Amino acid sequence: MKTESYLFEAIEDRVVYPAKVFLASIDHSSFHWHYEYELILVLKGSVLVNADQKPVVLGVGDIFLVNTQAIHEIYRTEEEENICLFIQISQNLFNDFRDASQIYHFYLNSKSETLKPKKEFRHFIKMAAQIGLNAIERNENTAYRIKGMLYLFIADLYQYTSYDIYQRGSETAENENMEILMNIIDYIQIHYQDENVLGDLYKKVGMSEKSVYRLLKINIGFSAKELVLSRKLDKAKYLLKYTDKPINCIVDECGFHSEKTFYRTFRKVLSITPNEYRKHGIVLKDSREIKGYLDFNQTEGRVLLENIVQRRC
Amino acid sequence: MKCTKQKRLSYTEKALQIVNSLTLEEKVSLMSGNISLESMLEDMRDDPDNKHYNYIPYSAGGIKQHNVPPMLFCDGPRGVVCGNGKATCFPVSMLRGATFDIDLEERIGRAIGKEVRAFKGNLFAGVCINLPYNPGWGRSQETYGEESFHLGEMGAALTRGVQKENVIACVKHYAFNQMEISRFKVSVDCDKRTEREVFLPHFKKCIDQGAACVMSSYNLYKGIHCGHHEYLLNRVLKEEWDFDGFIMSDFGWGIRDTAEAANGGQNMEMCCTEFFGEKLVKAVKDGLVDESKIDDAALRIIRTLIAFDEACDRDYDESLLGCREHINLALEAARKGITLIKNDGLLPLDKAAVRRIVVLGKQGRNEVIGDHGSSQVRSSYVIVPIKGLANVSPKSEVVYYNGEDLDHAKELAQSADAVVFVVGCDHDDEGEYVAVEPDNSYTGSVGGDRQYSLGLHQDEIELIQTVGPVNKNSVAVMVGGNMIMMEEWKDSVNAIIMAYYAGMEGGTAIAEIIYGDVNPSGKLPYVVPMKESDLPQVNWDSENQWYEYYHGYARLEKAGIAPSVPYGFGLSYTSFEIKNAQFTKADAAVIASCEVTNTGERSGDEVIQLYVGFQNSKVDRPVKLLRGFKRISLEKDETQKVDISCPTEELCWFNEETGRMELDHMEYEMYIGTSSAGKDLVRGSVML
């Protein structure tokens, strides 16, 4: 992992318990990964989560687990503001009584019609809300309680959800693939405007086009080409919204070869023309930070959590 | 072996002196176990991980002031069951049977003998040679296969190995013990020829090779408990076979009556004292048991123990337990026993081409080393199949899913370069059986016989049928202690491997064979029929069971029924050719010889098998029987001459009129080759 990478999200706030629990209103969070398992519970509005190669829009009351080391992105949707509970749980906690050379990939996604857990989603939702409420309290007593509840939650994941196991050998260097993968994504994030970005990329990582394609498809569901395009469009959207630059400049700056291609592609992907977007498009910050958070009312979040906990099941 | 029968008999005088110096009570005290059932069960309840069954050697007898050491019992056969995280867990006997490697089994015996000594034991009760009349027998894993000749050869090899390390080899369970859930109540019956030609010869062979102890079985034979059986214990074992060692009962329920057991020839009640001890002293005083019976038992016990005690001239320290050498031996056995049954050009997989391998099926992530009964060995680690695959090809991503959701399994299979199904039995499906409820059983699992089906579980069959065809690089790995039916699903995969319960390094060996680091060479020690009804039928929950003369491959051959996979069959990644087969007779033996050439592209092992046919006999006899085998290693293009000889006494049948084993004077068909199937054999004949 390159140290300068802005894509690796270090989740280090673990002074009291081996998890980071917080409420947030998500603007966007582009492709990244971390060792923590990340549980997302939507309390208000909706968000788009793109993990497991399947983008999914989560609405109020939906729960989604992003697995350890899974590359994912999260976006607000255009309709309304959102409030989400995030519980980022240290991978070590999952390995306390298990072989650490096995990585579990759980299926917990209340929007999915397949691989449903053997316990109802509301069971997991209620547990998550309880953890969230205790985290807001934040004192020594709740720290014990949270750690206990995290264990309960993990036990139920092991017992009631479907999962795949990724087995590493004793000698395998940890995350060798993951490192290459992040290097590839990093490279694209930085060099997407270059004319020969993909050719340079294959040379730099020493892999064939086919191998890179396969690695990306398996892990994030996008090809390098699609990733480059998506970055170009993100940049274009930002320049359209926040600058007065003429479109022909934006076309160059984003690495599109002709205005014609730019218009066609923009329209095809976003179902809207660049000019229309400039007038009506939603706000996206070109933040170099991993996550864009929006302001929201903490009290509202707390009330929403309490509602879930108090709801009779 | 230092402690041969001859050597042991040289202690008769000394043992007699001791016997004569003992009181009746002292003599009887030698004849039963020293631990109480209560303390044993309490231990298991209090600390099931550490104070499990036989966590320390169980002692019986021993009188210090007379220099009689106690018998110190260690169970097996998968290794030594004592301790926690120390012993070497070898593959189960059924896999070792599939190696057809006498030398290897003897080396395993030596390793086990050393570990018994390191645990401070002096007896290994792991020479289990019961013949699975029907492969559904839940403890088949503890024995070597369906064929009496082969069972005897393997059991004798283990006996020699163990006793070379000055540990008493205990042969069990004598006799007719091949039904698990009815083991305490079933009375087995059969005709004399079946008894003498099918169910007893392998016991005799182990006794002839010097086994110094025999454990009687729980079940009854012809209505009499085997632990009391005057005919089996006194007449056959001690008189006819001239057995010099001692007999012990199976644990807890092996003796039901004091006088009947003592008079029937039982020498030692294990592992607690219930019917012997004070009750036996009283029975002698009441005239129900003659004191000569006690003297005979005491003599046998003392003679055996002091002979082995004095032969033990080296220290065996704890560093031997689970040492690298022994673990390597466990791995060698797994490599040689795991059997490739089908391979439509799929195996071995090319590591470089397999970037992602998906493993499906419940057993893929489990420690598939066998049941949780008295043979459970607790090694320091177990390489599970998925771990083995990840270790052997570190660059191939290994993804495991249990297979419950067929759509998800299909999706995974589509994403993979190869798919491995790991399916079959575990400790709940088959194994030692104590009670219906796992809670009431110290084994903590169900076990028992495979009463309902000899096939895979229904969900596993559906998994293979549905997902196998999705990826043409699909291989099924079966785990289990005996034959598993394959007809319903065998066409849905391109390769099938039988892995048995392959021990602590089993996952490594499975992966090495899949990726071709190891060339498979195991041979099925049983026949796989097309239909379960081709096998002799058993009423598993019964008080009576008749055993017919024919079982296994001999039964199918006699009925002219083609098997799905023949006895003795196993594929290799190379090919072998047999030429210049010759069959001759010597003084008291028949000899088959041939030249075997490795005609393939890599080195490999082959098991050359000798079958003898009895079609000219005037009595009803099998079409042919295995009567010799030899495992050889050949480099590419190498040719080796193989001679296999078989003593003519192995060709005898039991004449009920004369009460003797007799040799037919006739022309015998002789076959030499690589399995029991006609197409794998070269035929000739010998006139005797």
pLDDT in tens, B465-500: 999 999 999 999 999 999 999 999 999 999 999 999
State whether B418 and B439 are in the same domain.
yes
pLDDT interval class at B421 (50, 70, 90)? very high
Task: Judge whether B512 and B520 are in contact, CB under 8 Å.
Answer: no
B520 or A93: which leads in pLDDT:
B520
pLDDT at B434: 73
* Phi, psi for A118 (deg, rounded to 5): -80, -5
Q: Give the distance from residue B360's alpha carbon to the nearest chain A alpha carbon, in angstroms.
A: 10
Which of A164, A169, A218 lies nearest to residue B390, judging by beta carbons?
A: A169
Whether residue B510 contacts residue B168, with contact meaning beta carbons closer than 8 Å, is answered with: no
Of B240, B343, B266, nearest to B575 by C-alpha is B343
Q: What share of chain A is helix, strand, coil (3-state, %, to 5)?
A: 45, 20, 35
| In contact, B4 and B11? CB cutoff 8 Å | no
Closest residue of chain B to A167, computed from CA coordinates: B398
Say yes or no: B45 contacts chain A, CB-CB below 8 A.
no
Tokens read off for A230: 């998506």
Residue B408 sits at the chain A interface (C-beta within 8 Å): yes
- Which of A114, A164, A167 should we substitute to test contact with B (largest number of B Cβ atoms within 10 Å)? A167
Mean local confidence (pLDDT), B411-435: 93
CB-based contact B400 A170, cutoff 8 Å: no
B4 part of a folded domain = no
Domains, chain A: 19-168+290-310 (2.60.120.280), 176-280 (1.10.10.60)
Q: Does one domain contain both B365 and B498?
A: yes
- Rounded mean pLDDT, B102-129: 98
B391 contact A CB<8A: yes
Mean pLDDT of B501-519: 98
Confidence tier at B503 by pLDDT (50, 70, 90): very high
- Per-position DSSP letters for B239-308, written without gaps between them: IIS---SEEEPPTTTS---HHHHHHHT--BB-SS-SSSTHHHHHHHHTTSS-HHHHHHHHHHHHHHHHHH
Q: Give the chain B residue whose CA is nearest to the CA of A218.
A: B415
Phi-psi region of B34 (alpha: psi -120 to 50; beta: other; left: phi over 0): alpha
CATH number of the domain at B421, please: 3.40.50.1700
What pLDDT score was predicted for residue A211? 86
pTM of the model: 0.90
Asked whether the CA dihedral B335, B336, B338, B342 is positive or negative, the reply is positive
> Do A170 and B415 make contact, defined as CB atoms within 8 angstroms?
no
Of B393, B399, B405, the CB nearest to A166: B399
pLDDT of residue A173: 54
| Out of A177-191, B39-53, B155-169, B598-612, least confident range | A177-191
Cβ <8 Å between A101 and B415:
no
Return the DSSP state at B448: B
Check CB contact of B579 with chain A, cutoff 8 Å.
no
Total number of domains constituting chain B:
3
- Shared domain check, B338 and B312: no
B344 and B310 co-located in one domain: no
For residue B600, what is the domain's CATH number? 2.60.40.10
Any A CB within 8 A of B595 CB = no
pLDDT band at A142, cuts 50/70/90? confident
> What DSSP designation does B236 have?
I
CATH code where residue B128 lies: 3.20.20.300
Tell whether B562 is covered by a domain: no
What is the band of B26 on the pLDDT scale with cuts at 50, 70, 90? very high
- A6 burial (CB, 10 Å; 0-12 / 13-18 / 19+) is middle
The answer, for B441 touching chain A at a CB cutoff of 8 Å, is no
Domain that holds residue B652: 574-687
The reply to whether A174 touches chain B by the CB within 8 Å rule is no
Higher pLDDT, A83 or A295: A83
pLDDT tens string A25-70:
888 777 777 888 999 999 999 999 988 777 899 999 999 999 988 8
**Backbone region of residue A304 per phi and psi (left: phi > 0; alpha: psi in -120 to 50; beta: other values):** alpha
What pLDDT score was predicted for residue A305? 94
Given B319, B354, B377, the domain boundary residue is B319
Chain A touched by B387 (CB under 8 Å): yes
Judged against a pLDDT cut of 60, whether residue B368 lies above it is answered with yes
Tell me, what's the pLDDT at B435? 65
Amino acid identity of A300? E
What residues in A contact B407, CB-CB < 8 Å?
114
Least confident of B444-453, B528-537, B575-584: B444-453
For residue B500, the number of C-alpha atoms closer than 13 Å in the C-beta half-sphere is 40
In a domain, B268, yes or no: yes
In a domain, residue B3? The reply is no
B366 touches chain A (CB under 8 A): no
Within an 8 Å CB–CB cutoff, is residue A162 touching chain B?
yes
Confidence of residue A281 (pLDDT cuts 50, 70, 90): low
Average pLDDT value for chain B? 96
pLDDT tier at A99, thresholds 50, 70, 90: confident
The answer on B662 and B531 residing in a single domain is no
**Side-chain-facing half-sphere of B290: CA atoms under 13 Å:** 6
Evaluate if residue A8 carries a pLDDT over 50.
Answer: no
Same domain, B420 and B520: yes
Q: Do A101 and B390 touch (CB under 8 A)?
A: yes
Query: In chain B, what residues touch A166 (CB-CB under 8 Å)?
Result: 397-400
Q: Is residue B445 assigned to a domain? A: yes
**Listed range (A233-237, B201-205, B403-407) with the worst mean pLDDT:** A233-237
- Find the residue in B nearest to A106 (Cα): B401
- The stretch A201-229 carries a mean pLDDT of 84
Please name the residues between 80 and 109 in chain A that touch chain B, using a CB distance below 8 Å.
99, 101-102
Looking at the fold, whether B196 and B272 belong to one and the same domain comes out as yes
* Separation CA A63–CA A123 (nearest Å): 11
B397 chain-A contacts, CB cut-off 8 A = 166, 177
Q: Which residue has the higher pLDDT, B137 or A81?
A: B137
Least confident of A207-211, B205-209, B245-249: A207-211
Could you say which of B365, B398, B405 has the minimum Cβ distance to residue A115?
A: B405
Instruction: State yes or no: pLDDT of B69 exceeds 60.
Output: yes
The model's confidence at residue A239, banded by pLDDT at 50, 70 and 90, is: confident
Q: Are residues B196 and B177 in the same domain?
A: yes
- Residue B516 Cα, gap to closest chain A Cα (Å): 18
Task: Tell me the chain A residues in contact with residue B517 when contact means C-beta distances shorter than 8 Å.
Answer: none
Q: Give residue-wise pLDDT tens across range B268-281.
A: 999 999 999 999 99
> Are A218 and B405 an interchain contact pair (Cβ–Cβ within 8 Å)?
no
Would residue B457 count as lying in a domain? yes
User: How would residue A231 be classed by pLDDT, with cut points 50, 70 and 90?
Assistant: confident
Whether residue B583 contacts residue B685, with contact meaning beta carbons closer than 8 Å, is answered with yes
Q: How far is A269 from chain B (nearest CA, A)?
A: 27
B338 and B508 in contact (C-beta within 8 Å)? no
Query: How many beta-carbon contacts under 8 Å exist across A and B?
Result: 58
Does A167 contact B404 at a Cβ distance shorter than 8 Å? no
pLDDT above 70 covers a percentage of chain B that reads: 98
Q: Looking at the structure, do residues B513 and B581 belong to the same domain, yes or no?
A: no
Label residue A176 by pLDDT band (50, 70, 90).
low
C-alpha distances (whole Å) from B224 to each of B181, B261, B544 are 18, 10, 12
Q: Which residues of B touch A101 (CB under 8 A)?
A: 387, 390
Q: For chain B, how far is it from start to end, CA to CA, in angstroms?
A: 34
ipTM confidence score: 0.89
Q: H-type helices in B2-136, by residue range?
A: 5-9, 12-21, 24-29, 37-46, 93-99, 102-118
CB-CB neighbors (< 8 A) of B415 in chain A: 218
pLDDT digits (tens, 9 = 90+) for B593-651: 999 999 999 999 999 999 999 999 999 999 999 999 999 999 999 999 999 999 999 99
Q: Say what the pLDDT of residue A2 is.
A: 30
Distance CA A65, CA A58 (A): 12
Task: Lowest mean pLDDT of A252-256, B89-93, B148-152, B569-573, name the range.
Answer: A252-256
Q: Which residue of A has its CA nearest to B356?
A: A218
Q: What is the mean pLDDT of residues B65-75?
A: 97
Question: How long a stretch of residues is chain B?
Answer: 688
Write down the pLDDT at residue B597. Answer: 98
Residue A283 pLDDT? 47
Last residue in a domain, options B271, B289, B319: B319
More confident residue, B214 or A250: B214
B437 versus B108: the higher-pLDDT residue is: B108
Q: Which residues on chain A are in Cβ contact (under 8 Å) with B382? A: none
Predicted local distance difference test score (pLDDT) of residue A7: 39
Instruction: Tell whether B511 is within 8 A of chain A (Cβ).
Output: no
**3-state SS assignment for residue B596:** strand
Q: Mean pLDDT, to the nearest integer, of B149-173? A: 98
Nearest CA in chain B to A116: B405
Chain A residues in contact with B510 by the CB 8 A cut-off are none
Please give the pLDDT value at position A312.
59
Nearest to B681 by CA among B617, B610, B585, B624: B610
Question: What phi and psi, each to the nearest 5 degrees, are found at residue B123?
Answer: -140, 135
Task: For residue B428, tell me if it sits in a domain.
Answer: yes
Residues from chain B that touch A115, judged by Cβ atoms under 8 A, are 405, 408
Find out whether B482 and B527 touch, Cβ atoms under 8 Å.
Answer: no
Q: Are residues B304 and B336 in the same domain?
A: no
Q: Residue A163 above 90 pLDDT?
A: yes
For B323-351, what is each residue's pLDDT tens digit? 999 999 999 999 999 999 999 999 999 99
- The answer to the question of residue B561 being in a domain is no
* pLDDT band with cut points at 50, 70 and 90 for residue B438: low
Residues of B in contact with A178 (CB under 8 A): none
- Considering the domain architecture, whether residues B315 and B333 belong to the same structural domain is answered as no
Is the confidence at residue A17, as pLDDT, over 80?
no
Residue of B nearest to A173 (CA): B394
Exposure of B407 by Cβ count < 10 A (0-12 exposed, 13-18 middle, 19+ buried)?
exposed
Kindly give the interhelix angle for B148-164 and B201-208, rounded to the nearest 10 degrees: 30
Verify that B180 and B207 share a domain, yes or no. yes
